[in-house]
Amino acid sequence: MRISVIGCGYLGAVHAAAMADLGHEVIAIDVDDAKIALLSAGKTPFYEPGLPEILTTSLASGRLSFTTDISLAKGSNVHFIAVGTPQSADSNAADMRFVNAAVTALIPHLSDSDLVVGKSTVPVGTAARLQEMIATSGSAAALAWNPEFLREGHAVTDTISPDRLVYGVAPGPRKDAAVSTLNAVYATAIAAETPVVVTDLATAELVKIAANSFLATKISFINAMSEITDAVGANITELADAIGYDNRIGRRFLNAGVGFGGGCLPKDIRAFVARAEELGRGESVAFLSEMDAINKRQRTRVANLVLGAAASVDVELTSARVAVLGLAFKPLSDDVRDSPALDVALKLNALGADVIAYDPEANGPARLRFPALVTAETLDEVLTGADVIVLVTEWPEFIALDPERVAGLVSHRAIVDARNVLDADRWRAAGFTFVGMGRP
């Protein structure tokens, strides 16, 4: 099948390469010349394990090509819309400019038998509006909504082997054909018995936003509980293990810590609240604003824990060298969008600490946003001379640190584990003041 993918950001670049890897002929389109030049040369503009490999093999096979020329979408049977929907500069609502521009640019190149498939995360009601836009233009092309659930760091496997497929299709004579077309696109996943939910357009849009809202709620719930366990000296990790054994609850996404960030969860829950308010249903999801507030509070909480850890080794924060381990919003990513780690580093800087940060992949992206941020080239460099260490992104190499060895590098032995991933007993045995989040 010939497929076009419009938008070559995180979602689009991965989707295009994965579809080509599955055997489709893919033309990937973006307005950004530099991005297209980079991808055409087999290089990725961001760090994503496994992507360079499938990019290289797909380009070499001739099944994948990149262009800035949208007219080359002509001739594809399916056109995926995979552009970004960031938070608007002046409100919590999603900025729909890129989606609108992509569909407007695509319309003149559509044939009547084509299927336009939305993948971007959008406010509910967008698909119906886009369908109307296409129809008004005189094109008979159909539109479906097929939300994407990929996680950064696992984007390639999540795309090739998703845990479910959701097709939002409008009722009417084109419905069966749209479902068949999507089944052909995802033939490999379907052969592997991936569940498929066929639903209407609005439900498909809501599935994505509801999933992210639920995940954000789970994280903020456990972080709220960890504020309580802190107050009484109880243990949040053991609490999460115990409630997680209840299958109705489940253990995943119950890791307490500095909270969620990235390009999806924070902006998606805010956009959902904004959209619900437009629909006159603001009350229904008002709790999501509380989840957002709990999440933001964790960043201040971590900065305060660092302050306390410095005091425990008799160092004033204003004269403390603080080693920040991590800048990306999560491991296996170089993404610093709304990153709790980066936020903590900046907060500590603002409080007057001498901050030095290290991330295996995100030093560059963080410095691009905040050129004044001091970063170390190696893990040993960031640790050397530190008065307090704060672990904010749980990269495997941070978890694997040997406390005895670290003790020989630092000036004072104090560590804040803002992801609850270290063995407190081992660090204490090496003479460290050890501070977790909601656990002794």
Binds ligand UDX (CB under 6 A): choice among 29, 59, 219, 327: 219
Place of tokens 């253990």: 251
265 sits near ligand UDX (criterion: CB under 6 A): yes
Nearer to ligand UDX, 248 or 252 (CB): 252
- From the list 234, 392, 425, the residue with the least C-alpha distance to 305 is 392
Residue 253 interacting with ligand UDX (CB under 6 A):
yes
Per-residue tokens: 98: 């890129």
User: Using an 8 Å Cβ cutoff, are 5 and 82 in contact?
Assistant: yes
DSSP string covering 132-186, please? HHHHHTT---EEEE----PPTTSHHHHHHS-S-EEEEE-SSTTHHHHHHHHHHHT
The number of residues that bind ligand UDX (CB under 6 A) is 20
Task: Spot the catalytic one: 107, 160, 264, 305.
Answer: 264
Q: Is 152 in the site for ligand UDX (CB under 6 A)?
A: yes
Helix or strand holding residue 90 (H, E):
none
Distance between CA atoms of 403 and 423, rounded to whole angstroms? Answer: 10
Selected from 24, 109, 321, 330, the binder of ligand UDX by CB under 6 A is 330
Number of H helices, E strands in the chain: 18, 13
Q: Select the residue interacting with ligand UDX from 257, 326, 360, 365 (CB under 6 A).
A: 257
* DSSP at 94: B
Pick the piece of the chain touching ligand UDX (CB under 6 A) from 89-97, 186-194, 258-266, 346-354.
258-266
Stretch of 49-57, 248-256, 273-281, 305-313 contacting ligand UDX, by CB under 6 A: 248-256
Letters for 165-204 (x = contact with ligand UDX by CB under 6 A, - = none) are ----------------------------------------
The stretch among 21-29, 247-255, 347-355, 360-368 that binds ligand UDX (CB under 6 A) is 247-255
What letter does residue 375 receive in the DSSP assignment? B
Asked if 8 is an active-site residue, the reply is no
Rounded (5°) CA angle 18-23-27: 65
> Strands 142-145, 165-169: parallel, antiparallel or unpaired by DSSP?
antiparallel
User: In angstroms, what is the minimal distance from the CB of 162 to ligand UDX?
Assistant: 10
Contact call for residue 151 and ligand UDX (CB under 6 A): yes
Q: Which residues are annotated as catalytic? A: 264
Residues that bind ligand UDX (CB under 6 A): 148-152, 212, 215, 219, 253-255, 257, 259-262, 264-265, 329-330
